[in-house]
Structure 1
Amino acid sequence: MAGAAMTQPNRAAGDPPEPQDGLPVSPLARLRLLVALDALLVEGSVSGAAASLGLSTPAMSRMLGQLRTMYGDDLLRRAGGRMVPTARAGELRLRLRALVSDAEALMRPDPAPAPAPPLKLGIPQHPPLARQDHLLPEGQPDSATITRHLFSIGHNHPPQERLARYIATIGAGRGRTRPLDETEAADAFGIVLDGEADPIQIGALLVALQYRGVTTAELVGMARAARRGFPPPTGAEGAPDLDWPAYRSPRNRRPPWFLLAAKLLAGGGHRVLLHGFSDGLFDPVLKALDIPVALSLPEARAALSQGSCAFLPLSAIEPQVQALLNLYRLFEMRAPVNLVVQLLNPLGAGASVFGVPSAGNARLHGEAAAQLGWSRSLSVESHRDVAQATPHRMMKLVLTRGAEAAEIGVPPGDAGTPQSQPPGYDVADLCYAVWSGALRDPAALGTVLDTAALGLMAISAEGPDMAEARRMAAELWERRSSAQRRV
């Protein structure tokens, strides 16, 4: 009858429960999902996990979707072209490995059963890193033996032995590795920064991490090691209002409009610390804009107290990190150190702005900054290595306040596409001319104002949104004093 409530057919006592939210409810089906998650974490890819379990890739992809629904977490994210586990997946990893490795051991025929060991409840401290679903050649140690050997190397062993364990943990090959936890990553990077690593170990560690992609825990651990001796990022009295990492590639010769934005914020009373490479890339523009270059942390504090804006070279912050970045010419590729420098925050500002190359890196930096104690951070996806607006193209932002993250899309504006450098101007002359008003360049001015707006969004604890921040930046531009314009 129309409007009558629909009744469910009678269910037999042995019928399986109905699925809810697309998830299986039978214990056996859910156990199958856990085995699938273990394979995903071991293999690091949907196709690899599917092959290891004899499933199709679409079937494994559906199971990953069910797992994400079940846990309310991404579990695996794209980073560095690969999939890396989230923090929640990292928490589950050892328990899953213990569960599946014990199940594999129970199903493996043992030609000479040994006496059963005393029953121990709980999870093994270090279950095997790899799945063991085939007979090994004679003389080859199984995964459990290899794992026991690795974890016999403890915190009291010599630094190079500990670092060797970390390299083997992340670099032994697909299906035989796991990410480092925060403590391990901090110890590994600390050994490198203290000069206690063999040079070959440094290359092995960096390449293994870069190839697989860095997890949040690994980035946090490395950043903690690099930030030893720096104040916590709490924005305490005397700390900058905004930390602005500027580690732009030397090959990028476009005008650094973000320097004008930083100076504009400083003119509005916000203390801004810029830090970047020590190669003199920005020196002419810094001089033209009268932004002081500090050669030590005390000098940077003094400069901020006098003028609200300063630039601190990396060599004055952490020379060993500078040396690691200089390895680029030996690798011809980036390394995790390029991510770590964004999180140095040497004077403990409560807020930072980051320029990142992808959505995965935006979330990665936001999560890492929050775990390191930042109150606020803003990641800009459309400009790599330094936060600079791109008003001529779509901007994707990730704004993090505490543990809360919001993704914001900013459509292109109407200021137009940046023009090529006018004849007769070098970069410093061009930046000075735009700042002083001697040259009218709507596209350049739009970039400066939108970049300043990004800084205002990061600094504020409650807001503003992009539209309000743009209005505030425009007011700062109109109010900048004649003394500021002359610099």
Structure 2
Amino acid sequence: MTETFTFAHLVRTLGRGSKGSRSLTREEARFAMTEIWAGRETPAQLGALLMLMRVKEETPDELAGLLDAARTEQPHWNGGARRIDWPAYAGKRRQPSWYVLAARALARAGYPVLMHGGGEHTAGRQYARQVCEALGIPVAKDWEQAQALSLTEPMVYCALEHFAPKLSHIIDMKAELGLRSPVNTLVRHLNPTGAPVTLQGMFHRPYQAIHHETARGLGDARNAVLKGDSGEFEVRPDSDQTVLMLSPVHAESIEWTRVLPKRSIRPPEPDLQSLLDTWSGQEQPEYGLAAIWETMALVLTLSDDLSQEEARERARQIWQAR
């Protein structure tokens, strides 16, 4: 029974050594996040739990249990209905954030988006928040404003700290602990608005299956996990990619074929002005437009049960009508 658990019990379960330790059950992980959310753990217990889970690598059952509690405890959404939950936590290292333009075009075409992010720790990276601010996409100052804005705005950005401050604090602990924690994985599954379409971008290949199985365990009906550019949910149009999906009609693993024949030269750093000029139509970058259209097409494939070619044609139509 959950009542018999203690935080010390969980740490002991994870840390008994190679022969005595094991991963947490889903119920144990749910208890852990309930305690964390309420602030009933000590700093030492929290650090020990997070790092022990990280060293062995978090399991889908552990993540699903943590998320059972987090999704229950996070504030209720009373704003406008969102079609797409778009987490954006990685930041872009070389290419500009083409995925933000893809999300904006989809939102304006009747696929409302909540984009959320946090943990903007890496110098030189371009994060969704600054791109949204530059483009004039509403950036909420708190959770209440995010809900109010969503009643009239098709796309809203809200920082993690405004709806899950404890999780935001844990992500910020990277500077103290020296490592990312399982919370960096689970925040991509929070889906705070209960949107029917959920997306996860990741960088490290082994985490693709972990995200996929976590979404399955949570019962997400329309989910896509992509090894996206710099870890964001953005298709690389110059590379064939495997996408893991949960969908009523599509196979769980689909091959997303490249549309550019050879690998593009990466710019030294992400340029913000190129995003503004591409949105306005002043620039027509081959790679950028392909990344936008392909990212849109992947989301449309998942959302509307389209084939890749149908989705690509629809994406171009939406972009032209933006």
- Structure 1 length normalisation: TM-score? 0.60
- Following the alignment from structure 1 to structure 2, what is the Cα–Cα distance between the partners of residues 355 and 299? 26
Matching of residue 441 in structure 1 with residue 285 in structure 2: yes
Q: 58, 62, 78: which one pairs with 1:218?
A: 62
Unaligned runs of 5+ in 2: 121-125
Residue 199 of structure 1 pairs with residue 40 of structure 2 = no
Q: Is 1:326 paired with 2:184?
A: no
Structure 1 unaligned segments of length 5 or more: list them: 1-153, 481-487
Asked whether the equivalents of residues 89 and 127 of structure 2 are also in contact (C-alpha less than 8 Å), the reply is no
Does the 8 A contact of 1:366 with 1:405 survive in 2?
no
State the match for 2:123 in structure 1.
none
Equivalent position amino acid for 1:286 in 2: C
Aligned to 1:432, the other structure's residue is in SS state helix
Q: Which residue of 1 aligns with 2:107?
A: 266
Counterpart code for 2:169: A
State whether residues 353 and 387 of structure 1, in contact with CA within 8 Å, keep that contact through their aligned partners in structure 2. yes
Local SS of the residue matching 2:185: helix
Aligned to 1:469: 311
Instruction: Tell whether the 8 Å contact from 2:113 to 2:154 is kept in structure 1 after alignment.
Output: yes
Distance 1:382 1:263, change over 3 A: closer
Quick one: distance in 2 between partners of 1:426 and 1:213? 31
Q: State the distance in 1 between where 2:119 and 2:72 align.
A: 20
Residue 243 (1) aligns with residue 85 (2): yes
Structure-2 separation of matches of 1:190 and 1:431: 41
1:277 paired to 2:118: yes
Q: Is the 8 A contact 1:415 1:442 kept in 2?
A: no
User: In the alignment, is the contact (CA less than 8 A) between 2:79 and 2:151 conserved in 1?
Assistant: no
> Helix, strand or coil: the match of 2:6?
helix
- What pairs with 1:6-405 in structure 2 (closer than 5 Å)? 155-156=2-3, 162-230=6-74, 238-249=80-91, 252=93, 254-277=95-118, 279=120, 281-401=127-247
Using CA pairs below 8 Å that are at least 6 residues apart, which structure has the higher relative contact order? 2
CA distance in 2, matches of 1:162, 1:357: 34
Mapped to 2, the partners of 1:427 and 1:356 lie a distance apart of 21
Which deviations, in whole Å up to 9, do the C-alpha atoms of 1:323-345 show, x marking residues without a partner? 10111112332211111101111
Is the CA contact (8 Å cut-off) linking 1:232 and 1:348 kept in structure 2? no
In 1, Cα distance between the equivalents of 2:262 and 2:134? 26
- Deviation track 1:23-80 (CA, whole Å, cap 9, x = no partner) reads xxxxxxxxxxxxxxxxxxxxxxxxxxxxxxxxxxxxxxxxxxxxxxxxxxxxxxxxxx
- Alignment-mate amino acid for residue 199 of structure 2: V
Task: Supply the AA of the counterpart residue of 2:84.
Answer: L
Which deviations, in whole Å up to 9, do the C-alpha atoms of 1:361-397 show, x marking residues without a partner?
A: 2232222223323221000024354211111112110
Paired with 1:186 and 1:312, the residues of 2 have a C-alpha distance of 25
Query: Structure 1 residues 393-402 or 432-441, which shifts more?
Result: 393-402
SS in 1 for 2:237: coil
User: Does the 8 Å contact 1:275/1:314 carry over to 2?
Assistant: yes
1: CA distance, partners of 2:252 / 2:221? 14
Residues in 2 aligned to 1:438 and 1:417: alpha-carbon distance in whole angstroms? 24
Larger Rg: 1
CA deviation map 1:452-479 (0-9, x unaligned): 112212322xx11222211110111112
Q: CA contact under 8 A between 1:419 and 1:443: conserved in structure 2?
A: no
Q: CA distance change for structure 1 residues 364 and 392 in 2, over 3 Å: closer, same or farther?
A: same
Report the Cα distance in structure 2 between the residues aligned to 1:415 and 1:275, rounded to whole angstroms: 33
RMSD between aligned residues: 2.7
CA displacement at 1:359 relative to structure 2 = 4.9
Partner deviation per Cα, 1:273-328 (whole Å, 9 max, x = no partner)? 10001659434421332210113333223323312111110111111101101111
* Paired positions, count: 317
The amino acid of 1:471's aligned partner reads E
- One-letter identity of the residue aligned with 2:60: T
Which SS does the other structure have where 1:377 is aligned?
A: strand
What do residues 242-265 of structure 1 show as CA deviations (whole Å, max 9, x unaligned)?
Answer: 10000114x835411110000010
Amino acid at match of 2:26: E
Q: 1:180 and 1:394 mapped to 2: Cα distance? A: 36
| TM-score, normalisation: structure 2 | 0.89
The 2-side partners of 1:307 and 1:417 are apart by 37
One-letter code of the match for 2:290? G
Q: How has the CA–CA distance of structure 1 residues 174 and 456 changed in structure 2, closer, same or farther, with 3 Å as cutoff?
A: same
Deviation at 1:217, TM superposition (A): 1.2
2:296 alignment partner in structure 1:
452
| Letter paired with 1:388 | E
Other-structure match for 1:478: 320
Change (3 A) 1:372 1:276: same
Q: Which residue of 2 aligns with 1:26?
A: none
Q: 1:264 is matched by which residue type in structure 2?
A: A
The CA deviation at 1:208 is 1.0
Residues 291 and 310, structure 1, Cα contact 8 Å, conserved in 2? yes
